[in-house]
Amino acid sequence: MAHHNKEVIYGLYDDETDLLKAVKEAKDLHLDIMDVYSPFPVHGLDPILGLAESRLHIAGFVYGSLGTLTAFLGMTWVFTKDWPVIFGGKPYWSVPAFIPITFELTVLFACVGMVITFYIVCGLGPGVTNVYLDDRITDDKFCIAFDTATVDGAAAKSFLTKTGAEVNHKVI
């Protein structure tokens, strides 16, 4: 994440139900939320924030299909063209024997591919320094952050106080 010298006003809530309530209220007041942080996925948050459905699973399907093809065609090539070996009197092209490996490679490709895609999309990974607002959002606090460039600072502060958050601000 690049540095923009943003001044961020954020509130820390003790409970995810408080967070959900506050996000709903902020939406009703048309306060533009910069982002919401929580130590774990909060159920029902995505639709309230109006986030689009993740397309990660489509990528997963593509990677999985790639794994299926790699395994199946790879084994087909190896056992019929490159180095045909007779195993237990079975034909070279023994489809049932290929299925378990095809399955494993499908799962492997889908998982590893999705993890890598997720890291790239989220800007995570080794060597990347991410700025985060507060240590406690990785522990037990739930956070709503406002960017003062888009939201009036005073309004954000009064909103956070009113909904029971511990208000802080930080320049990132």
Partner 1 sequence: MNQYTFSGTAKTVTIGAMIVGVVSMLLTWFVGADDLQSRFWSNFLHNGTFFLGISMMAFFFIAVCVTAYAGWASVFKRVWEAMSAYMLFGFIFMIIIALATYFHWNHLYHWADAAAVAEDPILNGKKSFLNPNWYLFGTLIIVGTWVAFGRKMRSLSLAEDNDQGVDFAKHRSMRKWSAAFLPIMGFSSAAMIWQWLMSVDAHWYSTLYAWHAAVSWFVSMICLTILLLIYLKSKGLYKQVTTEHMHDLGKFLFAFSIFWTYMWFSQFMLIWYANIGEETGYFLHRREEYPVLFYANIAVNFLIPFFVLMRNDTKRKLGSLAFVSIIVFVGHWIDFFLMIKPGVKITRDGHGHGDAAAHGADAAHGAHEAVGHGAHEVAASTFEIGYTIPGLLELGTMIGFLGLFIFVTLTALSKAPLIAKNDPYLDESLHHHT
Q: Please give the residue ranges that form the binding site for partner 1 (CB under 8 A).
A: 43-44, 53, 57, 61, 88-90, 96-97, 99-100
Closest CA to 22 of 50, 45, 40, 47: 45
Q: Which is nearer to partner 1, 17 or 138 (CB)?
A: 17
Rounded to the nearest 5°, which phi and psi values hold at 16?
Answer: -70, -25
Beta pairing partners, 171: 7
Q: Give the shortest CB-61-to-partner 1 separation in angstroms.
A: 7
Residue 47: partners with Cβ closer than 8 Å, 6 or more residues away: none
d(CA 168, CA 11) in angstroms, rounded, equals: 6
Q: Which is nearer to partner 1, 100 or 125 (CB)?
A: 100
Q: Give the shortest CB-96-to-partner 1 separation in angstroms.
A: 5
Q: Which stretch of DSSP H or E encloses residue 54?
A: none
Q: Which is nearer to partner 1, 99 or 124 (CB)?
A: 99
Pairing outcome for strands 142-147 and 7-13 = antiparallel
Q: Which is nearer to partner 1, 49 or 172 (CB)?
A: 49
